[in-house]
Structure 1
Amino acid sequence: MWHKDAFTYESHEMGKRFIAVVGQHTKSNCRCVVVNVYSACLLREKIDLWGNLSAIKGASLDPIWCFCGDFNAIRKRGERKGTSVRDNHTSEMGSFNNFIESNMLIELPIVGKKYTWFSSNGKAMSRLDRVLVSEEWLQEWPMGKQYVQRREVFYHCAIVVKSLVKDWGPKPFRTIDAWFMEKGFLTMVKDWWTSYPVQGNAFVVFKEKLKCLKRDLKVWNRDSFGNMESSKKKILEELEALDC
């Protein structure tokens, strides 16, 4: 992003523990938002960070996003080794996964090391650093992967994102399990589907209706699940009860 022949800077927004940069990727002529994250250790501060990131993404009209850096959180128990997973780690995993799902982010496949952070003696290790992108980012760079580099003098491993351009056809239609638990969800989808005024052969109709449904579901998901304040309050109450 520092090379003017590769990226044209437009604007940026700085918050507590993140920098969001908006600009144009020169080769693809694609406008995107790249957010560099450096999360805190305390869960309360992590929840605040994820809420702020959700608010920024929800208020933006830009569809192509990349969140990368040290999230200081794991998504599942297998991402931490050499140290026990306590109750607050369980809350952390739930809150972090909720942030990812509510913003419809996708983690790029990882190549190389399984863990990205190591203690000084090498006995404890965790997957704290990662790259999360929007589906629109994957549509632009469908073969993107995150390559974990060798650890040198720092506790963290650097991550390099690369994409090999290959056309494997349309991306799969993605859903979130929580959608189907919402009362009236399937009826709403059926009503939307029948309301789309698309004409043509069966393949064209199906393809265009799926595109319309995808758009409406993204808006509905943001309106229904995008506000993390209630989740934040609930988790903080659980933490206080655990005396964390």
Structure 2
Amino acid sequence: MLCNELSGLHYLWDMPWCICGYFNTTRFPSGREGNSPLSSAMENFSRLIFDLDLPLVGGEYTWSNRRGGSRLDRFLVSSSWESHYPRVSQKRMPTVCSDHFPILLDCGGIIEAKCYFKFENMWLQVEGFVDKVRSWWHSCYFEGTPSFVLASKLRALKADLKMWNKDVFGNVEQQKKSLGKSFKP
């Protein structure tokens, strides 16, 4: 049942996606400690996730009962997800009290952004600010899924706010630095 649903997701949904879970099967006999033959379940699972599975960094297995181990937990990502995050990898983290090792999806960080966006409370003191934001929000139009439209509108609003902030307040970071220098003994 899960294999059918994953197969449908993989072949029918043309958007970036990522699934994480405990799949209770391994791809190959080498994914399990000890000698076990390749089962039909392993073969089907391996065929299904061939393009979706990521290498595991930091260890071979994600589950261990101290007598043996298996790689049961994993992230599966679509090829369009990998194209958005070309340095994506999954990392096995240390376990504290469970027989499962937590795994972390590392997307390689955000490359383009130099600093994160901050909403400044001083903007709310400017008369007409809320109306200005409302007009910016309604002036941009995007097509796609609701999450894509929301993300695109927020990105456009961020650009408008940054430009407006610079026009109204100037370079606030530079002003803060110069004020800090003038108060030093």
Give the alignment's TM-score, normalised by structure 1. 0.41
Distance 1:158 1:165, change over 3 A: closer
**Count of aligned pairs:** 111
Task: Say if 2:28 and 2:46, in contact at 8 Å, map to a contact too.
Answer: no
Shift in Å at residue 63 of structure 1? 2.3
In our comparison, the structure showing a higher alpha carbon Rg is 2
Task: Say if 2:18 and 2:81, in contact at 8 Å, map to a contact too.
Answer: yes
Residue number in structure 2 paired with 1:85: 36
Residue number in structure 2 paired with 1:227: none
Distance 1:100 1:161 in 2: 17
Distance 1:69 1:96 in 2: 14
Distance 1:131 1:108 in 2: 7
Give 5+ residue unaligned stretches, structure 1: 1-47, 168-244
What is the percentage of aligned positions where both structures have the same residue? 33
- The answer to whether 1:74 aligns with 2:23 is no
Distance 1:142 1:78 in 2: 27
Deviations 1:148-203 (Å, cap 9, x if unpaired)?
01122111111111122599xxxxxxxxxxxxxxxxxxxxxxxxxxxxxxxxxxxx
Distance 1:65 1:92 in 2: 24
- The answer to whether 1:106 aligns with 2:55 is no
Distance 1:115 1:90 in 2: 19
What is the letter of the counterpart of residue 99 of structure 1?
L
- Aligned residue for 1:107, secondary structure, equals coil
Distance 2:44 2:108 in 1: 32
Deviations 1:113-172 (Å, cap 9, x if unpaired)?
1110011xx0111011111211111110000110101122111111111122599xxxxx
What is the letter of the counterpart of residue 50 of structure 1?
C
Task: Say if 1:142 and 1:166, in contact at 8 Å, map to a contact too.
Answer: no
Give 5+ residue unaligned stretches, structure 2: 112-185
Residue number in structure 2 paired with 1:142: 86
Distance 1:53 1:164 in 2: 25
Shift in Å at residue 57 of structure 1? 4.0
Distance 1:55 1:146, change over 3 A: same
What is the letter of the counterpart of residue 127 of structure 1?
R
